Amino acid sequence: MYFLTELSNTIIRKLSDNTQMITQGFRAFPEKTTTSLPVDLASIIGIVLFPWGVSFLFPIFVLSLVKEKEERFLVMMNMNGMKSSTYYIATYLTNLVLALISMICFIVVGIICGMEMFKKTSMLIIILVFFIWSNILVAVSFVFSFFFKRNSSALITSFLVTLISIVFSMSLFSIFEQNYVYFIWPFFAFYYILISMNGIAVDKASPGYQLHDFHPGSSIFAATMFMIGVFFILILLAMYLNAVIPQEYGAHQPWHLNIFRRIRRCFGGKKDEDSMEFDASNPFYTEKEAEDAKKLEDDDVRVERERVLSGRYDHNSPLIIKNVRKEYPPRKKDKKPHVAVHSVSFAVEEGVVFGLLGPNGAGKTTLIHSLIGVYTPTSGYARLAGYNIKTDMDQVYKRIGICPQHDILWDDLTVMEHLLFYARLKGIPKDQEKEAVQKSMANVGLESFKDNLARGLSGGEKRRLSIAIALIGDPKLVFLDEPTTGLDPDVRRLIWDILNEISCNRTIVITTHSMEEAEVLCHRIGIMSHGTLRCCATQLRLKELYGSGFRLSYINKAENYNEVKQFITSIIPEDHKVVRDLASNSIYEFIPTQGLITKLFDLLDDNKEKYGIIDWGISQSSLEEVFLSIISDDDADAS
Ligand SMILES: Nc1ncnc2c1ncn2[C@@H]1O[C@H](COP(=O)(O)OP(=O)(O)OP(=O)(O)O)[C@@H](O)[C@H]1O
């Protein structure tokens, strides 16, 4: 080859006059090469990111649980007959399914990406560990949710807990080599299992963690046992916290769960609840409270209390309240509890619409919430629809309807779906469900909206839907908290018509700030301030007691001013009050004597022309005047 090339070169150089030549040499032939690392990089990256991936559902679960409470869906469902246990079981199963789906995705992705841990470790152990972890995620989120009132703080804290657990787990494993106490926090135990199984799998010489390695003495076995044990503790803890932690809404039990009282009840039979819940001879807590009550309460309230406490009321009354009191925790440190409702006692008979009025902070909402289980009354006794609120709240919820102050509706459910949901909660038999929903929709005129989503309803339509929810199942006692607040006059009138119609065969308790509404709807009215019932009577009696009587107003020709004034003051009682005295427009207030009003109508009609009266009118004092005469400026936002 060499000689051949040299020969060719000689000829080429000769022919090209030494300008062309052939060069020769050796060069390596291109070949395919790979650089292999001593460890599996995918597995290393995976194990750092994996704890995040398998824990991301934890903050989401906590968030959704706190949100349901914050937005009062849970308490609304409770108030319509759903047991908390049913809610928690349904939520547990839903979250567990979500967690399992996400775990399956992780395992499948791990296998597809060729992570050694998933390839080599026994699949049975992986499935077992991930199943336990899914349950723990749900159980821990339940326990966490009881400590938060706002979903934003719940989200941040649970995220931080996950972050800290992951960061700490790395160092804890090397500090406590043979000590497993820190597995008590199941996040550490699970991350330990992940890291250990991965560590075994990435070792090229090892066959991975297998079933026969999973026995007492193995640290992975110990961590798994810790996870199982802690899971049961978490479930018990969640049940206990649910019962005792005071939430913003909903009743709670004392830390000792009234165990002794339950045992006593088991052995001693059911005591007469009526007699144990209040002391009829001393309805007030302190002498000062009794003194204050004397100043605030009128005779009707005292008579009503006596009637109720001595049992002289109709025992079929759907609402009986005896000495109900509600204290909130002190507003400032080392101060006394804030008493929002003092000893309130009254009974409302069947078919009566009872209006609870009062300035802001009077205690109306607190009283209603104490009755319907949003808060636990500090003391007192109440019987709603025939059942004691302390012992038979489940029965109470099946028989009452509640329309809360703010609509609590799911944006993604239709009108029909809302009503069907609540019909089921109320325990309406399946074959009567549709009819009950139809009736309830017809009551509030929402039939044409039945397939509309709640998010697309106007304020008035949402309010009507809330009223329809309160009416589902035909309850005999309905609570309406400010049913028309924030609605335009047309819608308010429409709702008043609806309420007037449905009030025929039910007892309704309405809280409202609208005197007009109370005047139109209520048969009996209670006015509260400073947590005390100030008066409690029919509209007519309140107007008689607190109204300024009747009001005569007229418009006259200005030149007749003196004659008209003389004429009018001669026909009304002498002790009248002059409200307005202008040349052509005057108003007088007076308490009429028997038959005077009819006489006045005749006299004014007959002498209208003679005295140059252009127009005139007589009206009775309004409920607003009654309210204003009872409630003074310092009654608002009572402290
Ligand atoms: N969750 C609570 N914790 C502590 N104090 C409360 C709580 N809710 C209400 N209060 C206090 O209890 C008193 C009565 O409040 P409540 O809401 O019952 O009045 P209200 O008559 O319904 O007022 P409004 O007409 O403004 O709704 C007020 O002084 C209020 O500050």
The protein residue with its alpha carbon nearest to ligand 1, atom 5, reads: 328
User: What torsion, rounded to 10 degrees, do the Cα atoms 259, 260, 261, 267 define?
Assistant: 110
The protein residue with its alpha carbon nearest to ligand 1, atom 29, reads: 361
Q: Which atom of ligand 1 is nearest to the CA of 328?
A: 4
Compute the distance from residue 157 Cα to the ligand 1 centre, in Å: 29
> Which pLDDT score is estimated for 276?
42
Compute the distance from residue 233 Cα to the ligand 1 centre, in Å: 37
Compute the distance from residue 459 Cα to the ligand 1 centre, in Å: 24
Compute the distance from residue 326 Cα to the ligand 1 centre, in Å: 11
Compute the distance from residue 340 Cα to the ligand 1 centre, in Å: 7
The protein residue with its alpha carbon nearest to ligand 1, atom 4, reads: 328
Compute the distance from residue 514 Cα to the ligand 1 centre, in Å: 18
> Which pLDDT score is estimated for 156?
94
Convert the pLDDT of each residue in 571-600 to its tens digit. Answer: 998 888 888 899 889 999 888 887 888 899
Q: Which atom of ligand 1 is nearest to the CA of 341?
A: 14
CATH at residue 355? 3.40.50.300
Separation between Cα atoms, residue 33 and residue 95, nearest integer Å = 49
Convert the pLDDT of each residue in 408-460 to its tens digit. Answer: 899 999 999 999 999 988 888 989 999 999 988 988 888 899 999 999 999 88
- 638 pLDDT band, cuts 50/70/90, is very low
User: Pick from 223, 217, 313: which is nearest to 274 by CA?
Assistant: 313
Query: 517, 539, 561: which is the final residue of a domain?
Result: 539
Residue 394 pLDDT > 90: no
> Which pLDDT score is estimated for 249?
58
- 636 pLDDT band, cuts 50/70/90, is low
Residues 275 and 297 in one domain: yes
Residue 46 pLDDT > 80: no
Domain membership of residue 34 (yes or no) is no
Residues 76 and 193 in one domain: yes
The answer to whether residues 618 and 513 touch, using CB atoms and an 8 Å cutoff, is: no
Residues 359 and 442 in one domain: yes
User: Pick from 201, 383, 206, 356: which is nearest to 278 by CA?
Assistant: 383
Query: 514, 539, 564: which is the final residue of a domain?
Result: 539
> Quick count: other Cβ atoms within 10 Å of Cβ 84?
15
Residue 61 pLDDT > 90: yes
Sequence-distant (6+) residues with CB within 8 A of 520 are: 496, 500
Compute the distance from residue 531 Cα to the ligand 1 centre, in Å: 9
CATH at residue 575? 3.30.70.100
Q: Which atom of ligand 1 is nearest to the CA of 531?
A: 14
The three-state secondary structure class of 537 is strand
User: Pick from 476, 504, 480: which is nearest to 317 by CA?
Assistant: 476
Q: Which atom of ligand 1 is nearest to the CA of 368?
A: 18
> Which pLDDT score is estimated for 211?
93
Compute the distance from residue 420 Cα to the ligand 1 centre, in Å: 33
Domain membership of residue 634 (yes or no) is no
Highest mean pLDDT (candidates 24-28, 263-267, 273-277): 24-28
The ipTM of this complex is 0.97
Compute the distance from residue 77 Cα to the ligand 1 centre, in Å: 23
Residues lining ligand 1, Cβ inside 6 A: 328, 338, 340, 358, 360-366, 638
Domain membership of residue 116 (yes or no) is yes
> Which pLDDT score is estimated for 269?
55
Convert the pLDDT of each residue in 274-295 to its tens digit. Answer: 444 455 556 666 777 777 778 8
Domain membership of residue 31 (yes or no) is no
Q: Which atom of ligand 1 is nearest to the CA of 362?
A: 21
> How much of the chain exceeds pLDDT 70, in percent?
91
User: Pick from 376, 457, 446: which is nearest to 410 by CA?
Assistant: 457
551 residue type, one letter:
R
> Which pLDDT score is estimated for 184?
93
> Which pLDDT score is estimated for 41?
65
Residues 75 and 177 in one domain: yes
Strands 319-328 and 379-384, bridge-based pairing: antiparallel
Q: Which atom of ligand 1 is nearest to the CA of 329?
A: 4
* Across 164-168, 183-187, 279-283, least confident range: 279-283
Q: Which residue has the higher pLDDT, 100 or 428?
A: 100
Instruction: Name the residue with tokens 């650089």.
Output: 35
Q: Which residue has the higher pLDDT, 197 or 84?
A: 197
Residue 541 pLDDT > 80: yes
Domain membership of residue 16 (yes or no) is no
Residues 116 and 151 in one domain: yes
Residue 578 token pair: 């002059």
What mean pLDDT is reported for the chain? 85
Beta-bridged to residue 384, according to DSSP, are: 319, 387
Residues 515 and 397 in one domain: yes
Compute the distance from residue 365 Cα to the ligand 1 centre, in Å: 7
> Which pLDDT score is estimated for 442?
87
Residues 346 and 416 in one domain: yes
Compute the distance from residue 366 Cα to the ligand 1 centre, in Å: 6
Domain membership of residue 254 (yes or no) is no
- 384 pLDDT band, cuts 50/70/90, is very high
Residues 570 and 530 in one domain: no
Q: Which atom of ligand 1 is nearest to the CA of 638?
A: 29
Domain count, the chain: 3
> Which pLDDT score is estimated for 39?
60
Query: 515, 539, 563: which is the final residue of a domain?
Result: 539
Q: Which atom of ligand 1 is nearest to the CA of 369?
A: 18
Domain membership of residue 266 (yes or no) is no
User: Pick from 563, 398, 384: which is nearest to 472 by CA?
Assistant: 398
Separation between Cα atoms, residue 311 and residue 462, nearest integer Å = 40
Separation between Cα atoms, residue 623 and residue 547, nearest integer Å = 8
Sheet holding 387-388, edge to edge: 338-348, 319-328, 379-384, 387-388
* Residue 392 belongs to domain spanning: 271-279+289-539
The best mutation among 248, 366, 512 to test binding of ligand 1, ranked by most ligand atoms within 8 Å of the C-beta, falls on 366
The best mutation among 342, 365, 533 to test binding of ligand 1, ranked by most ligand atoms within 8 Å of the C-beta, falls on 365
Measured CA to CA in angstroms, residue 536 lies from 343, 385, 558, 617, 628 at distances of 14, 21, 45, 30, 15
Residues 358 and 419 in one domain: yes
Domain membership of residue 571 (yes or no) is yes
Residue 637 pLDDT > 70: no
Residues 434 and 534 in one domain: yes
Chain centroid to CA 186: how far? Answer: 31
Residue 76 pLDDT > 60: yes
Residues 154 and 83 in one domain: yes
Residues 386 and 532 in one domain: yes
Instruction: Name the residue with tokens 């239709």.
Output: 414
> Which pLDDT score is estimated for 142?
95
